[in-house]
Amino acid sequence: MEIHDFQDMMKRLYFKRDSERGVNGTFKWLVDEVAELGEELKGSDRAATEKEFADVIAWLASLANTRGIDLEKAALGKYNYKCPRCQSSPCQCTF
């Protein structure tokens, strides 16, 4: 599924609640979901880890919706088949 279509699906599912909660509240949910992913990564439950990855990208899409930002356009605006810093693929940055 395209990133844009995933974001659109999240909009159809959750935009009413997301917009009522607003940017700050939705950002806090994202932070909580990232923390849950971090906890799950300490273990070895692959299915549970996949669900946490799902939640993080879902809340990231919801957050982008609250700000009216196209996540796919933003992602490809910076990362478009080459490293935005060294302009190479694979990245050749020396840091």
Q: Does 3 bind its own copies (CB under 8 A)?
A: yes
- Name, in order, each residue with C-beta under 8 angstroms of 28's C-beta and a sequence gap of 6 or more: none
Interaction residues for its own copies, span 14-73 (CB under 8 A): 14-17, 23-24, 27, 30-31, 34, 37-38, 41, 46, 49-51, 53-58, 60, 63-64, 67, 69, 71-73
Can you say whether the dihedral through the CA atoms of 65, 53, 31, 17 is positive or negative?
Answer: positive
Size of the site for its own copies (CB under 8 A): 51
Count CB atoms within 10 A of the CB of residue 18: 22
Nearest distance, CB of residue 13 and its own copies, angstroms: 5
Q: Which is nearest to 67 in space by CA: 34, 29, 24? A: 24
Q: What is the Cα–Cα distance from 14 to 1, expressed in whole angstroms?
A: 18
Q: Which residues make up the interface to its own copies (CB under 8 A)?
A: 1-3, 6, 9-10, 12-17, 23-24, 27, 30-31, 34, 37-38, 41, 46, 49-51, 53-58, 60, 63-64, 67, 69, 71-79, 81-83, 89-91
